[in-house]
């Protein structure tokens, strides 16, 4: 999910559901980039999360049918190591279940 900003609880809830919260870079928004919600998005650079690191940004390419891509780097809003663990597990429920199975 890409947004201008997040309240802490909403960002944490998204991570808890296994959704990656991304934020537009400072000074940019959907309107300044010309995005209207009809685009198809390709996001690269997320695989670092599965390898144990948390990238600060990912690359986003948004394209409308027949149009040129709109490209920008979005800020990854996973702010703590615990949130990264929850996201890597697919959300907090999967994280807890894996912990129960492992013990």
* Domain definitions of the chain by residue range: 2-102
- Fold of the domain spanning 2-102: Aconitase; domain 4 (3.20.19)
3-state DSSP assignment of residue 82 = helix
- Surface-to-core class of residue 79, CB atoms within 10 Å of its CB (0-12 exposed, 13-18 middle, 19+ buried): middle
What mean pLDDT, rounded, does the chain reach? Answer: 93
pTM of the predicted model, to two decimals?
0.87
* Tens digits of residue pLDDT in 40-81: 999 999 998 888 899 999 999 999 988 899 999 999 999 999
Give the tokens for residue 53: 């690191």
Q: How far is CA 71 from the centre of its chain?
A: 16
């Amino acid at each position: 999910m890409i947004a201008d900003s997040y309240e802490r609880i909403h960002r944490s809830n998204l991570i808890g559901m296994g959704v990656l919260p991304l934020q537009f870079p400072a000074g940019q928004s959907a309107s300044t980039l010309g995005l209207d919600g009809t685009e198809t998005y390709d996001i690269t650079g997320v695989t670092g999360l599965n390898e144990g690191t948390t990238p600060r940004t990912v690359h986003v390419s948004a394209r409308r049918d027949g149009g040129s891509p709109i490209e920008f780097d979005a800020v990854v809003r996973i702010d703590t190591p615990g949130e990264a663990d929850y996201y890597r597990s697919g959300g907090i429920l999967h994280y807890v279940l894996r912990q129960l199975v492992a013990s």
